[in-house]
Amino acid sequence: MLQMKLCGDLVLREKCAPVDDITPEILKNMDEMVQMMRDQNGVGLAAPQVGVTKRFLVMMEPDSGKVFKMINPRITSRSPDTVVMEEGCLSVLGADDLPVYANVSRPAVVSVEWTGVDGKKYAAEMSGIMARIVQHETDHLDGILFVDLLPAAKREMVMRKVRRRK
Ligand SMILES: [Zn+2]
């Protein structure tokens, strides 16, 4: 049974290793991650968030409920125009055990390549909420949390709420 890793756990700061082999264990992890994401009303979950330092993630299109399972995802281009959207993270919880939200500025449109669970290569251009989710989740694979992208004063405000949980 996988466990959610929370802000402060150093596993969230590791740079994850590429997946060479799509093992049954990885597929099982991804199924379990989809379940955890749904249980906690999340829209994405990356492997290090459950303590696995490998490059894979799951995410869900909020409107359609369509689930993406991405292995070795890579953002190959980012639009110069940025957009501000509210973000939270299942690893960054406040005193009420719910995610702490903050506005984050990121590129509005990105191109993404990944390997599917069938071993095939996929590519897509994503905008709106999907661009947001895929950037947040691929950041996790490089040990980056959304709070890192906030201006110092705003980050401190979020981290104060996180610390209050302990
Ligand atoms: Zn996250």
Write the DSSP string, 118-148.
TS-EEEEEEEHHHHHHHHHHHHHHTT--GGG
Give the pLDDT of residue 82: 98
Assess whether 87 carries a catalytic annotation.
Answer: no
Give the pLDDT of residue 166: 67
Helix (H) / strand (E) element for 162: namely helix 152-164
- In angstroms, the CA 49 to CA 55 distance is 11
Region of residue 41 (phi > 0: left; psi between -120 and 50: alpha; otherwise: beta):
left
Q: Give 12 Cα–ligand 1 centroid separation in angstroms.
A: 9
- In angstroms, the CA 166 to CA 160 distance is 11
Q: Give 37 Cα–ligand 1 centroid separation in angstroms.
A: 11
Average pLDDT, the chain: 96
Q: Give 6 Cα–ligand 1 centroid separation in angstroms.
A: 10
Q: Give 67 Cα–ligand 1 centroid separation in angstroms.
A: 16
Give the pLDDT of residue 71: 98
- In angstroms, the CA 2 to CA 42 distance is 16
pTM: 0.96
Does the pLDDT of residue 89 top 70, yes or no? yes
Does the pLDDT of residue 159 top 80, yes or no? yes
Structural domains in the chain, sorted by start: 10-164 (3.90.45.10)
Give the pLDDT of residue 15: 98
Residue range 97-126: average pLDDT? 97
Q: Give 140 Cα–ligand 1 centroid separation in angstroms.
A: 7
Give the pLDDT of residue 165: 84
Q: What is the β-pairing status of strands 44-46 and 82-87?
A: unpaired
Catalytic residue among 32, 125, 137, 156: 137
Q: Give 64 Cα–ligand 1 centroid separation in angstroms.
A: 21
Give the pLDDT of residue 1: 87
